[in-house]
Amino acid sequence: MADSSFGPMRDEDADEGCVGMDPAAGSPRKEPIRVLVVDDHALFRRGLEIVLAAEEDIQVVGEAGDGAEAVDKAADLLPDIVLMDVRMPKRGGIEACTSIKEVAPSAKIIMLTISDEEADLYDAIKAGATGYLLKEISTDEVATAIRAVADGQSQISPSMASKLLTEFKSMIQRTDERRLVPAPRLTDRELEVLKLVATGMNNRDIAKELFISENTVKNHVRNILEKLQLHSRMEAVVYAMREKILEIR
């Protein structure tokens, strides 16, 4: 589903502000910030152009109606900022992020959307977006966010920043809970097999090294994977080294 109209860009809400992350003091700009506006609603794009035209230090250099067109325009125009919707036809904004970073590495991307879905926020950040703003923000905040991102900051709408912090807390809690669970105990023989697997030896060579049958080696490897709840020999080695069950010198 495509995002709806320009939304209530409320000037009176400017004091609420966007949440800036990783602030970096930037030097005064001599040239205007070049912005590419990407949204599948022509009326919304026109509204943004009118709003930003009033800013002396911001220049809208182009517009696009979908993610595919945005990538082409970004490659041609090399904007400083790409102001882009999340959900659009042909190619969505998040998918376009990665390609834009490839064709215009210096461009910084701000998602401007009605989507308050946590998954969209996380995916946008992973794809390289530097800002995530909801379309309910005020007109003043759009220009302020563009300047902040151009100067090296990250901008996230307050409600979305709250969700992001909640997710970070949950991730930390899950990590702490995993640390409280004791690592599965491997037998001495299983540790021997795992150490030889880590050296790159196959089952036949391990069998010769330990003077056991190849089938016995296979059984040990299967037991190791089951205990560690993993799917491959390499995963078992990586897990063992990470959890300090086994250290390869």
Per-residue pLDDT tens over the stretch 82-102: 999 998 888 889 889 989 999
Amino acid at 134: L
CATH architecture of 188-242: Orthogonal Bundle (1.10)
Contact between residue 70 and residue 90 where contact means Cβ atoms under 8 Å apart: no
- The predicted model gives 10-34 an average pLDDT of 56
Q: What is the pTM of this model?
A: 0.56
**Could you state, in order of their start, the residue ranges of all structural domains in the chain?**
11-158, 188-242
Average pLDDT (5-28) is: 46
CATH superfamily of 11-158: Response regulator (3.40.50.2300)
pLDDT at 25 over 50: no
Compute the C-alpha angle 232/221/178, nearest 5°: 60
Q: Using CB atoms within 10 A of its CB, is residue 79 exposed (0-12), middle (13-18) or buried (19+)? A: buried
pLDDT in tens, 56-83: 999 999 999 999 999 999 999 999 999 9
Token pair, residue 143, equals 């220009």
pLDDT score of 7 more than 60: no
Does pLDDT of 41 surpass 50?
yes
Phi, psi of 2 (to 5 degrees): -80, 150
Tokens coding 150: 């151009």
Q: Which residues pair with 35 in a beta bridge?
A: 60, 81
For the chain, the first-to-last Cα distance in angstroms comes to 54
- Please give the pLDDT value at position 230: 79
Could you tell me which residues come within 8 angstroms of residue 82 by beta carbon, excluding any fewer than 6 positions away? 35, 36, 38, 70, 74, 100, 104, 107, 108, 109, 110
